[in-house]
Homo-oligomer: A and B are copies of this chain.
Amino acid sequence: MVFLSVLTPVLAVILCLVIGFMLLKPREAASMSTGKPASKSENFRPWVDQDLQDDTEITAREDEVGDWMDSSEEDLPHVPYSQKRYSEEMMLQRSQDFYTLMNDRRSVRFISPDPVPREVINNVIRTAGTSPSGAHTEPWTFIVVSDPEMKHQIRLIVEEEEEVNYRHRMGEKWVHDLAKLRTNWIKEYLDVAPFLVLIFKQTHGILPNGKKKTHYYNEISVSISCGILLAALQNAGLVTVTTTPLNCGPQLRLLLRRPANEKLLMLLPVGYPASDATVPDLKRKPLDDIMVYI
């Protein structure tokens, strides 16, 4: 009895230690998975572009306001604005002609090596720069690459990542589906097109005092600017294919020596269509499927 009563506190301490250890263990595991949301939890999406993902929701949507105008813009004096007013017949004709022109646009992966005048590209980029942007931050940088060696470096980076994406990240289903794909990780157009336009979004700016300046809605703004860029290319008789290279952003940013506040959003190879270019025979939705009138 005396022996037992001496042993009891020892047993109690051991019991406490065991219980404590059991309770601590899952808590550590929980806090670890909280700290690293990209670990093998249900949120694990290895094929998601980590570079695009890491800022859009965090940087772009702080302090934002609805109408894309901030006080710095409003401090400016206002000036009268007028615009050429066309007759109704003229408006109809112009809107019809512009629709016809834009409806001829297609994503073309077969691009001619024929040279394109650089001044045309300058005008197209100038046009993209007329896009509206949140608080008039103009958060875009257009890198225009014509140097053959640089184009090839870009191709190597894009193809390597695309192959990794397809082979390893997409899983078995994707590898199977791949057999059907004529478009795979070989991107010949990155060498062949006379120009590659890489469009970076500036997730924030730097104020004169060195502090960060939030760029409201930077991804939406730069995407709108890309829409205007696509219209300008089509208007000039040039073609491109809209691509968002997965997980290449950081490597391409370093290759092109862009600062850390710039993230690659899109890569557009630009040129004339190849003489034997083909496109998938797809249709666009009719107006009634995309518009509701109230």
Contact = CB atoms under 8 A, between A and B. Distances in A.
Contacts of A4: 5
Contacts of A92: 117, 119-120, 123
Interface in A180-197: 180-183, 187
A123 B96 CA distance: 6
A294 B145 contact: yes
Nearest to A52: B61
- How often does this chain occur in the complex, in copies? 2
Contacts of A31: 30
| Residue with the greatest number of chain B CB neighbours at <10 A, chosen from A26, A80, A81, A86 | A81
A136 to B, nearest CB: 6
A287 B68 CA distance: 22
Contact of A57 (B57, B131, B232, B273): B57
A165 interface: yes
Given A117-B88, A141-B292, A241 B67 contact: yes
Contact of A86 (B62, B73, B75, B237): B237
Contacts of A226: 223-224, 227
A40 to B, nearest CB: 16
Nearest to A293: B144
A130 B144 CA distance: 25
Contacts of A230: 131-132, 224, 227-228
User: What 8 A-B pairs are tightest by C-beta distance, nearest first?
Assistant: A227-B227, A5-B5, A12-B12, A223-B223, A95-B123, A78-B278, A224-B227, A76-B280
Nearest to A26: B27
B5 A237 contact: no
Contacts of A110: 81
26 contacts: A5-B8, A8-B8, A16-B16, A20-B23, A48-B61, A63-B174, A66-B161, A67-B109, A68-B244, A74-B181, A78-B182, A79-B281, A83-B239, A83-B273, A92-B123, A94-B236, A95-B124, A99-B123, A125-B291, A129-B284, A140-B290, A141-B292, A143-B291, A223-B224, A224-B226, A228-B231
